Chain A
C-alpha cells in the first residue's frame, strides 16, 4: 500500500493549520481511512493538545528519526476514532533537530502502512517549513480572508512549487475563519476573490466560529459533533479530498436573491 502525504501549511502563523490538521484528519478517519497526524512543529508542538492526547505521549518524532524507537511505537492511537493516530513532535528540541531527508524517509515508511499522513507545518518559511514539506505529495494551504494571510499564502505557493516539488495541481486551499456577515457587507474578501488571486482550487470554506475554541478547550476534534457548521465544513473538505463532488454551501447568497431569501428567513 502507498498512502498519500499532505502538508497543511500557510506561511502566516495562527491562521488554523493545527485546527485543520486535526479536523481534516479526523474526518478522513471517520470515512474509514487510516490516518496519521504528524506534528512537524518541533519545539512548539500543539497538535497533541488540540487532539486531547497530550497525556499519552511517550516517544516523539525525534526519537523515531534518531532510531530510539520504531515509528509504530511512537504513534498514539485515538480511542474515539477508529484508524486515527498521532505522531507527536518533540517539545524540547528545535527545528534543526531533524533533516529533510530524515523526514522524507519517515513519511515514506508511514505511507507504506497508512492511507493518509497529514503534516502539521510550523508557521514561517524557514527550516521548519522546508522539513515539513520535504515528504509531502500534496499541500493544503490554509488562508484567512485578510491581506497578510493571502499574501503569505501566495509566497508559500511559489515555494511549494520550487522547493517542495509539489505541482500547482496538487495544491488546495482551505479558507478559514470566514464571516459571511462581513462578506455580505463587502467588508471581507470572499472565496472567489481569494481564488482569483491565488489561482488554486478551493478544498473547503470554514466559518469563523467560537465552537472551535470550545472544542480545543476540551481536546476534542470538532468533526465529532453533528450539528455544527465548522464540523460540516471539515467533513465536506475531507469528502472533496476523497474525490467526491460536494457543492459549496450557497445558503450565504449575496446580492438580491440572497437578500430576498434572508428576508423570508430562507437563508442566513
Chain B
C-alpha cells in the first residue's frame, strides 16, 4: 500500500514513545538526590507549609521534570480549605 503519511514521515511510531520514556527515566537516574532525600525533603516541606496553610497530605505530589533542558522539582500541594485563609494571619 502507498501510505502518504509514511512517505512524509508524519506517522508516530514506537520510537517516540521510547524517546519520551527515556527522557523521564534519565532525569530520575541523573538526579543526584536519592529517593530517601526526596522523602526527607517532602516531610520537611509539609511541616513548614503546615504552619501557614492546611494542606491535603494524601494528595501531595513531588516529581522531577525537565523544563528547557533543566531539571525542576515540581510540587503539587493541594490546600484543604481555601476559605480559612492563611493561618495565624
Contacts and interface: CB of A to CB of B under 8 A. Distances in A.
Interface string A138-167: 000000001100110011001000000000
B63 interface: no
A256 B22 contact: no
Interface stretch (A44-52, A114-122, A185-193): A185-193
Q: How large is the interface on B (under 10, 10 to 19, 20 to 34, 35 or more residues)?
A: 10 to 19
Interface in B1-36: 6-9, 11-16, 18-19, 21-23, 25-26, 29-30
Contacts of B16: 186
Nearest to B13: A186
Contacts, number: 47
Contacts of A254: 9
Interface in A224-268: 254-256, 259
A263 B29 CA distance: 43
B22 A151 contact: yes
Contact of A186 (B15, B22, B25, B29): B15
Contacts of A155: 29
Given A154-B26, A155-B29, A197-B26, A186 B19 contact: no
Contact of A154 (B7, B8, B13, B30): B30
Nearest to B32: A158
B23 A197 contact: yes
Nearest to B14: A187
B22 A185 contact: no
Nearest to B8: A256
Interface string A155-184: 100100000000000000000000000010
A255 B8 CA distance: 5
B11 A186 contact: yes
Contacts of B12: 186
B19 A189 contact: yes
B68 to A, nearest CB: 14
A128 to B, nearest CB: 21
A197 B19 contact: yes
Sorted nearest first, the 6 A-B pairs with minimum C-beta distance are: A186-B13, A255-B9, A187-B13, A259-B7, A186-B15, A193-B19
22 contacts: A147-B21, A147-B22, A150-B22, A151-B25, A151-B26, A154-B26, A154-B30, A155-B29, A183-B15, A185-B13, A186-B9, A186-B12, A186-B13, A186-B14, A186-B15, A186-B16, A187-B15, A188-B15, A190-B15, A254-B9, A256-B9, A259-B7
